[in-house]
Amino acid sequence: LLAAVRSGEPDAAAALHDRLRPVVERAIRRLLGRGDRDHEDLAQQAMIEIVTTIDRFRGDCPLDGWASTVAAHVVYNHIRRRTTERRIFESVRLDDDVPASTRSLGADVSARSVLRRVLAHLDAIDEAKSWAYLLHDVCGYDLREVAEITGVSVAAAQSRLVRGRRELLERLGADAELAPMLGNANQPGGP
């Protein structure tokens, strides 16, 4: 399949789509949620980006991981170009259907409140630092992939990540309303 894509054979289009579309979908949904209006465009744009940049894939990492990084890069650039809405995790902010795993907190409403306040803090800190934190700590991309997605060096990505964590932690500690919500967790020996 890779050889066919590299040589530009049109017959490989369907196979390539079916092979990598789920990977692309997963990457986009993690960053934008399921209901983003640009979802389909971004997915197709990511697939085309994969075709045009296939020569950069040298086989030193899984193809899925590389395709996911390409898709995240497309999303990253897309969100940065948004003028009215450039926020990541829109579905978390707007979706009333809170993910089931968050219900372990005990109350759906409480969980949504915590997430929205955390995202508000992320919006308040430097965008590059919040992206580094979200891509690395939340979405699970490694530093090299974060660097590729955001178009910076690995050292710069690492610096942004460290500073993003520190700033977010300071903001969480200074948020008097958020403290009771995280109270149990913040108490030594708590749940």
Partner 1 sequence: VTTDPLDHVTRLLRDAVADAGDVDALPPSRDAAVSRIKDALRARATARRRRRVVTLLAVAAAVAAVVGGSVLAARRTDRSDSSVAAVATGHDLGRVVVATEGVTALRAGRTQSLGQDARLAEGTELRTAGTSEAHLDFDSGTRVTLGGGGRVRLVEQSQSKRFALEAGSFFAKVSKLAVDERFVVATPDAEVEVRGTEFRVTIVAGDAACAGGSPTRLEVSEGVVVVRHAGSEVRVVGGERWPTCAPPFAPKQVGVVATTSGSTAAPTERIAMTPRRVLSTPPASASRSPEASSRLAEQNDLFDEAMRLRRSGDLVGAEARLDRLLASYPTGPLAESAAVERMRLLAASSRARGAGAARDYLRHHPEGFARAEAEAMAAGTQ
Nearest-CA neighbor of 131 among 107, 159, 160, 155?
Answer: 160
Residue 104 tokens read as: 């372990």
With CB under 8 A as the contact rule, which of the stretches 25-33, 60-68, 69-77, 146-154 interacts with partner 1? 25-33
Residue 62 tokens read as: 């899984």
Which residue blocks in the chain are alpha helix, DSSP H?
2-6, 13-32, 39-52, 63-81, 90-94, 108-124, 127-133, 143-150, 154-174, 178-181, 183-186
Angle at the Cα of 38 from the Cα atoms of 32 and 42, rounded to 5 degrees: 85
Under rule CB under 8 A, residue 51 binds partner 1: yes
- Tell me the per-residue interface mask from 120 to 159 with partner 1, x by CB under 8 A, - otherwise: --------------x--xxxx-------------------
Q: Out of 3, 18, 60, 177, point to the residue binding partner 1 (CB under 8 A).
A: 18
Residues near partner 1, by CB under 8 A: 5, 7-10, 12-14, 16-18, 21-23, 25-26, 29-31, 33-34, 40, 43-44, 47-48, 51-52, 89, 92, 98-102, 105, 111, 114-115, 118, 134, 137-140, 165, 168-169, 172-173, 182, 185-188, 190-191
